[in-house]
Amino acid sequence: MARNHQWTDEEFRQLDEAGFVRLAGLIEPWELDAYRARVEELFQTEGGRAGAEFRLEEGARRLANVVDKGALFAACIATEPVLEGVAHVLGPEFKLSSLNVRSANPHNGIAQPLHADMGAVADERGYWVCNTVWLLDDFTPDNGALRVVPGSHKWGKLPQEVVADPAAPYPGEELVTGSAGDVFVMNAHVWHGGTANRTSNHRRAMHAFYCRRDKPQQQYQKRLLRPETQASLTERQRWVLALDDPLNDAVSANVTQVSGFLK
């Protein structure tokens, strides 16, 4: 299991003010090796269909519905230090919205536009989306690290409503770099986007994306997970996935998958 982590007041303050925080070295080295090996196995097995349960992205390899593809993935979604950060953003009533993998292709020359996940704006109850980025490779200035506009989660607007070209640099944006094994917890209302990978290697990360329990899942887990997968889950994992939640069935079962920028 991932290392334990005791949150500090400064980390919570950074998550509140900037909209993101890095939990350094949270993934154990053996786990990192296992994630990398399984992810590459899935890319090879699924081939051109990789990510088809959700959407494909030019310039990147994707995997979707990853909870259904290995016990190590089911374990990661219930990592308690990560969930503590998610609960700080969303409150105690949250659930997994999706678990995907994104791998920025070598020399892809393509950057994501600034976006908020699911095109979400905070509502009368507050924030309702929170993403966690599990670094399977180092994030460097050259290999497709995230750019983030600190504090933009507080503005109550989407970048496409304000910015003429969301793909262009934005004043005050920061590049989010880190080492393989780090996990970023990010208020997903913050404006962000992956940058172009200018190196000769893939840049891989898992995205465990959470939402408030009254909102629809990006990928309706109850429908996607095979019966044998559901039967293998712990009580805590089932709660995180909202598998036994009638409210989630009502709000998620008939919703078309939504992305902040993929069409």
pLDDT in tens, 7-20: 999 999 999 999 99
Task: Give the separation between CA 231 and CA 238, rounded to whole angstroms.
Answer: 9
What residues contact 12, with CB distance under 8 A and at least 6 apart? 21, 88
pLDDT in tens, 29-49: 999 999 999 999 999 999 988
Decide: 46 and 251 in contact? Cβ < 8 Å.
no
pLDDT value at residue 102 = 96
Task: Give the separation between CA 163 and CA 116, rounded to whole angstroms.
Answer: 13
- Mean pLDDT computed over 152-161: 96
Instruction: Domains for the chain: give ranges and CATH numbers.
Output: 9-252 (2.60.120.620)
pLDDT value at residue 161 = 94
- Look up the pTM and report it: 0.95
Decide: 176 and 184 in contact? Cβ < 8 Å.
yes
The residue type at 237: Q
- Mean pLDDT computed over 96-123: 95
Q: Closest by alpha carbon to 112, among 185, 34, 55, 27? A: 55
- Give the residue ranges of DSSP H helices in the chain: 9-17, 29-46, 71-76, 80-90, 159-162, 221-224, 227-231, 235-241, 246-252
pLDDT value at residue 213 = 98
Angle in degrees, 0-180, between the axes of helices 80-90 and 9-17, rounded to the nearest 10: 50
Write the burial class of residue 156 (CB in 10 Å: 0-12 exposed, 13-18 middle, 19+ buried): exposed
DSSP string, 74-130: HHHTT-HHHHHHHHHHH-S-EEEEEEEEEEEPTT----PPPB-GGG---BTTB--EE
Look up tokens 């989306």; give the residue: 129
Task: Give 261's pLDDT tier (boundaries 50, 70, 90).
Answer: low
